[in-house]
Every structure is written in C-alpha cells, then in structure tokens.
Chain A
Amino acid sequence: MIRFDRVTKIYPRSGGSAALRDVTLHIAKGEFAFLTGPSGAGKSTILKLLYMEERPTSGEVRISGYNSADISPRDISKLRRRLGIVFQDFRLLEDRTAEGNVAFALEVTGVPRPLIPGKVARALTAVGLASKATAYPRELSGGEQQRVAFARALVNDPFVLIADEPTGNLDERATRGIFQLLRDINASGTAVLMATHNLDLVRSSDYRCIEMNHGEVVYDSADAKRKAG
C-alpha cells in the first residue's frame, strides 16, 4: 500500500547533505508502525514524502496507486483527501469551534453540505469529544485539542493516518489517551504511521518499529522478526 523504493531526499538549501539516503520501506494495509529516531533523523521527511509535500530527489514513493514520479497537483489533492494527517502543534483554526474545525476539512473538499453535520458528529464521537463540539480550541486542554485534530483527520475515512509527534506537546495522561485512540483507529482497519520520540510508548506495545538515524533506516522490527523467524 505504501512503498519507498531507494528514496533519497536532498533539500535544495541543505548544502548537499541528504535528509534521506537510499531508503526502501514497505508498509502494509492496516498496519501500525512507529517511526523513531533522534531529531533530524529523517522521520518528518518520510511523512512529507508520503503526503507529497516533498518529492524524492531520486527513487520513488508509491502510495495507494499514486507514484511520486508522475503525480499531478490535482491528484495530490485527491490523495490527501484519503489520508489523515496530524501534527504535534494540532493546527486548529482558533476562530472555529471543535465541530467547525472538523467540518472545515469537508467544506473545502466539496463534500455536499447536508452530509457534513452527520459526518462531523460521528468523527467527534469516535475521538470521545461529542460533548465539546461547540467549544473553541482555547477552551480545550492540549489533549482535547489533539483529539479535535484527530477527528478532522478521520472525518474523510482515511486509509492511513499519518501522525507526526502527535503526543509531543502532551502530558503523560493525555499521551496515554491519544495512544489508546490510535490503537482504536487502527483496530477499525486504518493503517497508522506515527513518528515519535517517546520510546516508552514504543516499548509498551509490540507494533512495528522503524528506527532512523542520519537519513537511513537503522533498525526495523519487521526485518528482525523475519530473520528470527
């Protein structure tokens, strides 16, 4: 479903040093995978290549039938409607309520108006925030704001959820809550790719772990299991 084939990425103003070096990866449908490693290891670059914010310098990224080598701007929009993307800093609109923020993702992608309220209510219920639908982001805790971001990411029924340090700004309790939410999302069939610094979280589960350093994959628990098996 997601395939990185010998991908190298060099940012234009990086002085020639590669953010990713010859990375080959495969993530299966419905899989849950952690992406770990120190800052600058290339985790965010992997995610950006997935939602085609960046293109590889060499090699190719294939995701759900789209190929980074020949994808058009229009197809990038189409692809993103089928992805759910969440960041450390939530990225909510301050002048919209929780439901307004979730509805926004539907409004700007041309979903018919009458369908929007139902979809929004379902997404907010799924993240456990149905009772705070009319609250503004400033009235919500960090964990709740991140749940709104998850509801927005889920409202279009994505086949993969891409989360870049989603618990980076949250305390221990909220982190546990979000992680449980991610498990639930995965259990319902959505693949999850989560970049994180939180090794406790990684160790507490037996999901696949891909560790990066200096733009290379240095450890992949899937490979380790295969070799052991």
Chain B
Amino acid sequence: MLSLRSAFRAFSRAPLLSLLSVTTIAFSLFAFGLFGLVALNIRNALRTVEERVEIRAFLADKTPVEQIAAASDDIAKFPEVEHVDVVTQEQALARAKRELGEFKDVFESEFLPASLDVKLKPGFRDPNTVRRIADRLRALEFVDDVRYGDEWITQLYRLRNIAGVAGGVLGLAFAAVAIIIIGATIRMAVLARAKEIAIMRLVGATDWFIRRPFLIEGSIKGIVGGTLALILSYVAMRALQQYLHLETAFFDQRMAMLGVASGALMGLGGSAVSVGRHLRKV
C-alpha cells in the first residue's frame, strides 16, 4: 500500500518529469506500434496472395468422367489438400472467356483441356510442398501437364521471409530503444529522489522496499505510455485510411493488450535496471 502511495506521490511531486517519461515511452512504443502495423498489413497482404496458390493438373482428352471423379476424391484426401475442383472443358472455356474478355471471340470450340484445380491448406503453400504435390499429380496417367506458377511462389516466399526477418530485426531494435529510453527516464526519477533513497538506506529500509515504488512507477508509466501509443497508432492508421484510401487492418484485442502489457514490462525492466544500478553505486 505504502509503495503504491509512494509511486503515485512520485507522479504528483514531479509532474513534468513524469509527463516527459510517459510521453517518451508513448512515442517509442508508438514507433514500435507503427512498425508493427506495417508488418501486420504486409503479412495480411501476403496471406491474401498466398491464398491464390493453386495447382492445376490438365487432364488428357477423353478421360472418363468416373476416373476423374475418383481421382478427385483421392486427391482431396491428401492431408495437405484443402479442396479439389473439377473443371470440365466447358467450364474452362467459360473461365477463359471471363478472364480474357476482349479475346472471347477467339475461343470457339472446346480446345481447352479439362483440369483438376487443387487448393492447398494454409501452412502447406510453400514451394516445396507445392512442388511435391505437383509431382504426385504429374505421376497420374491421365494427367497431361501440371502448372503451379513455380517462379512466383518461390518469389512470394522469399519476400515473406525477408519481411519476417526485417520485421524481427527492426522490431527488436525499436524495443531496445524503448527500453533504453524508459531506463533513462526512470534513472532521472531515481536521481531526483537520491536523497530520499540515501536516507531510507540509512534508517534501515531494505533494498526491496526501496525498489518497489520505482518498479510500480515504471510499470504504471509503461501502461499509460503503451495505451497512449495504441491510441496514437489508431489515429495514425485512420488518417492513412482517410487520405490514402488504403484498406488496412488494426491490431486485434489480444495484440493490443499484448502491446500495453509489453509497455508495462518495458517500464518494469527499465526501472529494475535503473534502480538496481543506483543501489549498487551508493
């Protein structure tokens, strides 16, 4: 109770310093949050593209319908496969006309082959799995050819990996900067109360007792800063949507809470380091 009161008294006693530290925490977490939003949206965009990964097995002419149906059922049972569409020659023609509207006069007869369009489950859309399934389809006697956009799947995955690594590295860098800033602001708070700490030690307060209000203060600053950062990120995202007409996603509830919690954790960590260093020195 005393620690909590003491932590709150620290806010009222040095409002400017507290405001400064909360703002600094808010802005460093805001930078972190903006980066998180960019990463989130890139990931969402990539997922949409990834959903279009499809293996198309073109069937030989005159393959009996029963055989196609049986094969389709078999393939649908592969653990990696989400579903299989059977596309007849007529459907293939209709699709070609739809997709390539201006050339629709060219398509007259049923010269397009029928196909099995295989869609893979999420998590199995990487180049290796796609290639493996494609090879299995190619081995079927009535399959003429298999297409799956080998090149672009590889490119897509390379892009995703780069985005992942860059996201991780930059995210860590931002988090480190945030922790250092929080540590520095708490250090100022510690120095502002150096005399009080010295007296506490002199009259026999334990180190843990001295530490506690600073840890609480740091966590509160982290939570307030984290919430502010969340609000700022939301405002920034809305502004982007409004002026750039971009369809963007925001953090869901779980991620938002995780963000505020990590703010609190940074506050706690920064305080622990600052107070610990001070107590070791005096």
Contacts and interface: CB of A to CB of B under 8 A. Distances in A.
Interface stretch (A19-27, A62-70, A101-109, A170-178): A101-109
Interface string B183-208: 00000000000011011111111110
* Interface size of B as a range: 10 to 19
A104 B207 contact: no
B199 A91 contact: yes
A73 interface: yes
Interface string A73-85: 1100111111101
Interface residues of A, number: 22
Interface string B201-226: 11111110110000000000000000
A91 B198 contact: yes
Contacts of B202: 51, 80, 85, 91
Interface centre among B2, B196, B200, B204 (most CB of A within 10 A): B204
A73 B210 CA distance: 13
A77 B206 contact: yes
A85 B202 CA distance: 7
Nearest to A149: B199
Nearest to A155: B203
A91 B203 contact: no
Interface of A: 51, 73-74, 77-83, 85, 91, 93, 95, 104-105, 107-110, 152, 156
Interface of B: 2, 13, 195-196, 198-207, 209-210
Given A85-B202, A91-B198, 12 more contacts: A77-B206, A80-B202, A80-B204, A81-B203, A81-B204, A82-B204, A91-B195, A91-B202, A104-B203, A108-B204, A108-B209, A110-B209
